Amino acid sequence: MKRFFAQCYIWLLLVVLYAPIVFIAVFSFTESKVLGNWTGFSTKLYTNLFTGDMQGSGSLMSAIQNTLLIALVAASISTLIGTIAAIGIHNMKGRGKQAITFLNNIPMLNPDIITGVSLFLLFVFLHISQGYTTVILAHITFCTPYVVLSVLPKLTQMNPNIYEAALDLGATPFYALRKVLLPILKPGMVSGFILAFTMSLDDFAVTFFTRGTIGLDTLSTYIYTDARKGGLTPELRPMITILFVGILALLIIINLRKARAAEKANAK
Amino acid sequence: MTKRSTWALPYAIFLVLFVALPLILIMFYAFRDAGGDFTFGNFVKFFTDKDAIETFALSLEVAIENTGICILLGYPAAWILANKKLNKSAVTIVLFIMPMWINALMRTLATAELFNVLGFQLGKGTLLAGMVYDYLPFMIYPIYNILEKMDKSYAEAASDLGATPWQVFWKVQVPLSMPGVISGIMMVFMPTVSTFAISEFLTNNKIKLFGTIIQENINSGMWNYGAALSLVMLVIIGITSLLQDSKKNLNEGRV
């Protein structure tokens, strides 16, 4: 009985939470310009989205490209800087370590709007004109701390003697770095990269303040401007639906795999 | 390995340039007028502007209410999800976490459109409801995490010693799960108090929150006033994170 009520509560909450997305998904299969007005089943919005046969499709496509490009570049650079920094931080002691850890925590604690405004003021102060470069720099700023925090635990868990042993056996420092240190750090780097990538994809506020006035749009800023112009472009409905279903499938697969792996480990 | 500590140097310089300096610049601009002279004028303007103060108070109120509602709805959900007897499915927790992976603007837009179609008057009610939609997963997840890892033997020991289930819940499980609740509060309160686009969508620009005022001032070239408002927000954020730190120390001290 208790279990029944508990399940009811959980599913009620889920139904309410998912109602808006389901609503968008349902109405992505009708042609009506106005949301909530069902004019018969149609996949026209999907075809429009993929063939680019819609108003302002060029800017939507370039917004999607920008989003992916910025996320890829920012996440890659963050992973590189963050990993090198983590190795350095791991070998530091005392005040210096405290100071750098403190600074590293700030972008994670700061609300997006503060990060955005403060970087905006930096670029204004340094007279740097804003565009792609400033957006990417800004994204690196808030992504790198997550990489550092993903890689650091791998270093603390590592047995330091392994690296020393490689050197004693005649490996050059660079060879030992590549063959010993890197494989140990790799899982941390991968999860750091994924975190950084999704943080960058998700960002709105920081991009909004650092993109300048050259008309650079990411998906978030595109949607923001589009919605403020009065209502969502109908073609965004299938796009939101596709993104949603894609992420849902990915997460369920990852989690089921994890659960299965855990079961196997338990069986042993 | 000792020389490796220098590897952190480039990142240290990067942090000073892109994290420390920008924050110092907020302070710098906040205490200047448009001509670049030192002034307290921006703060005088804020504290004497009735609209700005009211917006500020409303933002705090909405953030506190949203956080409260998220705890009330989220704690039971996290508790059920973490309880193997009540919930066997691994998929439900994924369903609760997933919205965290979807762009907040998109989710908010979908919510606002649904409210619109259902004929709800966009205003404070829809603002709060929409915020709960957006941030509930961020409350459930940290609480779920801590409840799931909690050592079950504490609860068993308490009931062996004669505690009623109700007592076990309030005297053992709730105090032990407090760190989860606190990180939930941080993950909900901070973004709510600083939000800007979300409130515009959910109220059709009828209600302004503090973040919107900052954005409007920065975008219209009033950097100094915008910086002063950002500094006020930084103080609020600072106070909130101090709360977290003191609680953390308390908990560590206890264990």
The interface predicted TM-score (ipTM) is: 0.85
| B141 close to B96: Cβ distance less than 8 angstroms | yes
The average pLDDT across B226-240 equals: 91
Across the strands, what pairs with A30? A41
Same domain, A131 and A240: no
Where residue B255 falls among pLDDT bands split at 50, 70, 90?
very low
The more confident residue out of B155 and A72 is: A72
* Residue of chain A whose alpha carbon sits nearest to that of B119: A36
In a domain, A42, yes or no: no
Q: Please name the residues between 126 and 145 in chain B that touch chain A, using a CB distance below 8 Å.
A: 133, 136-137
Q: Which amino acid is at A232?
A: L
Cβ-based contacts of B116 with chain A (< 8 Å) = 35-36
Cβ-based contacts of B223 with chain A (< 8 Å) = 121, 124
In a domain, A51, yes or no: no
B122: left (phi over 0), alpha (psi -120 to 50) or beta: beta
In a domain, A9, yes or no: no
B152 three-class SS: helix
Closest by Cβ to A114, choosing from B21, B114, B234 = B234
CA distance B124 to chain A (A): 19
Q: Please name the residues between 178 and 197 in chain B that touch chain A, using a CB distance below 8 Å.
A: 190-191, 193-197
| A134 close to A198: Cβ distance less than 8 angstroms | no
Q: How far apart are CA A222 and CA A211, in angstroms?
A: 12
Same domain, A222 and A140: yes
**Which residues, 6 or more positions from B158, have their beta carbon under 8 angstroms from its beta carbon?**
B167, B168, B171, B172
Q: Provide the mean pLDDT of chain B.
A: 86
Q: How far apart are CA B42 and CA B20, in angstroms?
A: 22
The average pLDDT across B10-22 equals: 95
Same domain, A75 and A183: yes
* Residue of chain A whose alpha carbon sits nearest to that of B108: A20
A41 three-class SS: strand
* Residue of chain A whose alpha carbon sits nearest to that of B211: A113
Same domain, A129 and A240: no
Same domain, A106 and A73: yes
- Put simply, the answer to whether A228 touches B14 (Cβ < 8 Å) is no
How many residues appear in chain B?
A: 255
- Put simply, the answer to whether B103 touches A219 (Cβ < 8 Å) is yes
In a domain, A141, yes or no: yes
- Put simply, the answer to whether B8 touches A88 (Cβ < 8 Å) is yes
> Which DSSP letter does residue A180 get?
I
Where residue B3 falls among pLDDT bands split at 50, 70, 90?
low
Same domain, A94 and A211: yes
List, for residues B19-34, the tens digit of each pLDDT value: 999 999 999 999 988 8
- Put simply, the answer to whether A117 touches B116 (Cβ < 8 Å) is no
How many residues appear in chain A?
A: 268
Same domain, A208 and A118: yes
Q: Residue B248 above 60 pLDDT?
A: no
Cβ-based contacts of B77 with chain A (< 8 Å) = 9-10, 13
Architecture of domain B46-254: Orthogonal Bundle (1.10)
Q: What is the mean pLDDT of each run of 10 residues along chain A (268 residues)?
A: 86 90 88 78 82 69 90 96 94 90 91 94 92 95 95 90 88 88 91 90 92 87 83 81 84 78 75
The tokens for A13 are 């909450």
Q: Which amino acid is at A224?
A: Y
Same domain, A130 and A254: no
- Put simply, the answer to whether A111 touches B233 (Cβ < 8 Å) is yes
Q: How far apart are CA A151 and CA A160, in angstroms?
A: 15
Same domain, A158 and A244: no
Write the CATH number for A198: 1.10.3720.10
Q: Please name the residues between 64 and 103 in chain B that touch chain A, using a CB distance below 8 Å.
A: 73, 76-77, 80-81, 83, 85-87, 90-99, 101-103
Same domain, A129 and A244: no
| B224 close to B34: Cβ distance less than 8 angstroms | yes
The tokens for B221 are 């070239």
- Put simply, the answer to whether B6 touches A88 (Cβ < 8 Å) is yes
Q: Residue B62 above 90 pLDDT?
A: yes
Same domain, A128 and A204: yes
- Put simply, the answer to whether B5 touches A92 (Cβ < 8 Å) is yes
Confidence at residue A226, expressed as pLDDT on a 0 to 100 scale: 83
> Which DSSP letter does residue B38 get?
B
In chain A, how many domains are there? Answer: 2
Cβ-based contacts of A141 with chain B (< 8 Å) = 14, 18-19
In chain B, what percentage of residues exceed pLDDT 70?
95
Closest by Cβ to A10, choosing from B29, B77, B193 = B77
**Which residues, 6 or more positions from B67, have their beta carbon under 8 angstroms from its beta carbon?**
B139, B185, B188, B189, B192
Confidence at residue B2, expressed as pLDDT on a 0 to 100 scale: 47
Confidence at residue A55, expressed as pLDDT on a 0 to 100 scale: 64
Cβ-based contacts of B215 with chain A (< 8 Å) = 113, 208
Rg of chain B (C-alpha set) = 22
Same domain, A128 and A223: yes
List, for residues B38-61, the tens digit of each pLDDT value: 888 889 888 888 888 999 999 999
Confidence at residue A113, expressed as pLDDT on a 0 to 100 scale: 93
Where residue B110 falls among pLDDT bands split at 50, 70, 90?
confident
User: How many other C-beta atoms can be found within 10 angstroms of the C-beta atom of residue B142?
Assistant: 22
Task: Identify which of B243, B131, B93, B249 has the alpha carbon closest to the alpha carbon of residue B182.
Answer: B243
Task: Identify which of A133, A120, A208 has the alpha carbon closest to the alpha carbon of residue B230.
Answer: A120
Domain membership of residue A120 as a residue range:
56-231
Max Cα distance, chain A (Å): 75
- The DSSP result for A14-28, as a single string, is HHHHHHHHHHHHHGG
| B150 close to B173: Cβ distance less than 8 angstroms | yes
Helix (H) or strand (E) holding B150: none
Buried b (16+ CB within 10 A) or exposed e, A161-200: eebeebeeeebeeeebbeebbeebbeebbebbbebbbbbb
The tokens for A56 are 């302002």
Confidence at residue A204, expressed as pLDDT on a 0 to 100 scale: 92
Q: How far apart are CA B181 and CA B251, in angstroms?
A: 13
The average pLDDT across B179-206 equals: 88
The tokens for A91 are 């070998």
Confidence at residue B70, expressed as pLDDT on a 0 to 100 scale: 96
- Put simply, the answer to whether B116 touches A36 (Cβ < 8 Å) is yes
Residue found by looking up tokens 């606002």 in the block: B112
| A41 close to B122: Cβ distance less than 8 angstroms | no
Using a 10 angstrom Cβ sphere, with 0-12 exposed, 13-18 middle and 19 or more buried, the burial of residue B241 is middle
Residue found by looking up tokens 């149609």 in the block: A42
- Put simply, the answer to whether B26 touches A244 (Cβ < 8 Å) is no
> Which DSSP letter does residue A126 get?
T
Q: How far apart are CA B192 and CA A107, in angstroms?
A: 17
